[in-house]
Structure 1
Amino acid sequence: MKPTPAAGSAMRVLDKQPKVSRRGFLRGSGLAAISVTVVPAAIAASKDVAVEQSFPRLGMAAGKTLLRMARDIYPHDKLAEKFYVEAVAPYDAAAAKDPAVKTLLTDGVHDLDQRAKQRYGVPYVQVKTEDQRVALLKDIEATPFFKKVQGDLVTGLYNNKKLWPLFGYEGSSWQKGGYLNRGFDDIDWL
């Protein structure tokens, strides 16, 4: 017997027993299983499309290698992939304008992949650990290819104003009167 509300009150009694049928549970768990398998594949496909669109001249394989190199040279685990794509995408435009740059990049990527295959049996992007990839990069750090990629990435990543807040950099200060009266000594990590 349900309790009756007092006269003039609008009390509502809720039935706290869950109402999930076996069919509803199976339908929900089936949809969850589909989303667990399909959604990561869709995300991976969208990353490939972004890389493919960013490297029509150098190709997707070179684009993926340059992207992996960027992450290994300047590793920031909390940065989204799109920022690295933005940093390395100008290589494709440079390759379109200058055949020497295209040759430097394609030959450099090919050399790096060959070194990875000789040492680990797979191309550079498929090398499992960061330590192994860094060892490969140390082998080529004196080459013009590595120097170009490393040098261009400095401005490609760290001159991106969208990333400055993520790095804790407030930007240029001279327009605001300089740092002297704006907390030049307020660093909390020393």
Structure 2
Amino acid sequence: MALHVPHLRHGPTPSGVRSRTVQLDEHLPLDHRLNQVYRVGAGLTGLVLLVFGILGLIDKVGFFDTGGDTVASLNTNGALSVLSICVGLLLFAGMVIGGNVASTLNMVLGIAFILSGFVNLALLDSDFNFLAFRMQNVLFSFVVGLMLMFFGMYGRVSGRLPHDNPYWQARHPEQAAREARRRPAPRMPEVRR
């Protein structure tokens, strides 16, 4: 398995002292097992949102209709359906790209879904509830947000990352270098003629 350590940027700080900051904007190797988690999380969530949005549009509800039309027990209208399709397609794009892009996209959209849940919770019984949210939509938004954040942070944010994890290696470059020097070089298989 190929290991890839995100690069460290060295630069002067305002006090003039050089510091190292970890830049996790590099992609994981294509064969890294974390890449599969990020892709699966983005793909499954994107599929759910895409199906919900398409079913809402097929139902031909008004764009800002708040009349209580439901799809899969969730209230919807045309605006929410189009928004769900757009976010679902964005998650599919993240699934195709994979790596840190999928991980970061999962985290950012997860936070957006949780914030959307809180905002729409405050707007439930107001005239500003343009997306026709009801309590079940708020709970769905929280669940999808937590699920996306879990998939995005998996293997990236933890107190006990394994030492072959590229994020751990980027945060502990000296110890990773020491461990790499201690590891015996892989033996090449002998070729018999």
For the aligned pair, the TM-score class normalised by the smaller chain equals under 0.3
Q: Which has the larger radius of gyration?
A: 1
TM-score, normalised with respect to structure 2? 0.23
Larger relative strand fraction: 2
TM-score, normalised with respect to structure 1? 0.24
Higher relative contact order (CA 8 A, sep 6+): 2
